[in-house]
Structure 1
């Protein structure tokens, strides 16, 4: 009884360890959903990859879920990255974002957002596929080189304002007092699915990593609402969860206790001993009754080839051409005749099948005697 309990205990511990490892692996590798440019989303439109790269290069990235988080985290030496989403449109929200200290990087803004946060620029020509060379003296762009921006908006200065335009206006920058405002017409080069194209990753890191402290603001829900969603498990009382957990544990213990235990191997005598010759004759009669000359020939050829391979120094994966060449070299026969015998078409009559069997025996004898 003690030995049985020890065995069951180790089995139970192994099962618990396997379940724990599987649960942790599933959690770590599961994709994290989210909207466009969400710093936590690992989908093609998320920005988790860029945020991770910035942190690996020593940049402090703070993800802000509300405009209040931006106000508390922003400093004169920080950079606020504001990505346009469906939930960045409130007037008070834009006013507070405009008054936040530090530099500003504005990603694909709509007209209302652009007028509130970047009033010195206006919409340029119609949206088009942008990229290529920067054609400007902006250090972040010149270090990045050619990029593939995809479909992007372009911008032009308002009233001859001093604005640096790169990539035909898809990336613009100007100074507003002591604040640097940078606007990009698209975020495709910053999302997870676009970083690997051309110099996109370099441009994204150069723009977003211009400061050692970055506040990433891409609101994914209306102000004041929790980003989390309520699932079925959240609606269950805690007592029910514990009951389910104990029931699962009880079922696991019952399964371990009731499992069939493998003992030592027991040798048992066969009820009937069938001679090998009788098995061969029975199979041959079965093939003959069904006129399965193709199956019979294939069986004969396969058995012959399998016996020849060790003698020829070949493996089971050898090509038919290599087998034919080796047999012809060992037996001195014609390669065409050998190939036809070993890998040719099935015989048409029973007499042809008998002739094929004799030819296979001759080839095997010649190889064995050579």
Structure 2
């Protein structure tokens, strides 16, 4: 007499109910995130919005200065509002067909584009977008009148490169201005200086008022979904909503977890005692003696600097690939010391002897202690 060992329906359900419940939860969560994230933020950079991401504060300053602001949401309305002597301010220019945007720019006196990342050749043929950069407080670094008068400002975002004459780059290449026959075309890499929550910081207000308030009329163009003519040129992956992409990633992660959970187990891990235990301090001392014996003080000092920089960046809120200038500026601001002194400690000249290396180690320890306070 034989006994069946095949699982019955109840056994299958008992084993599969929790994985199925988890998958259902992921699908429901993905759908909710998709519906929630698919709704556009109607207050974003709207001159009538008092929300943190709105721009009512800047619009009020411009109106007090005598600038007439006309808010439009379609390309046709923008075309009708422009008179050849007005300023055209385009929020989210990526939503507009480049050819149509070039036509609108030709009917304006001055043009200001906010965070254009691609297809800028129609409006600014002498400028090329280089990719995203760090948003932070930067100095002008140029002779542009508006930037010099505003001083430091919280800018960044998209960086630009000049490919022709008559181009001025400011704020670590995150602001570009081109002189044209009718006026100027300005590309601003980040929306930070336009928002209500950031306008009062540094010279943000002064910078944007000088860029947008040069003429008596300002056409504030916030594109609507009907203006997304460029969507026909996008790939299928670009047309998929971000929420659905996130849901697919979640499903893949869940599948991997289930596979690991249900996979065949080969038993517990067997541990084997080491024949000898070497303390970490002994390893460090042995490595130091090797450096000393080979006379590699410069290599040892650079190892100390790299380790110190790696520990300082998380304390300063900087990414691991932060540039030297950003690290030096952040440390100087935190400790109150001169940037030249900080740069000499973190990125100074190679060390040639042991005494200098010992002093360098003490200086690095002191710097980390000051930043950590």
TM range (shorter): 0.3 to 0.5
Structure index of larger Rg? 1
With normalisation by structure 1, the TM-score equals 0.47
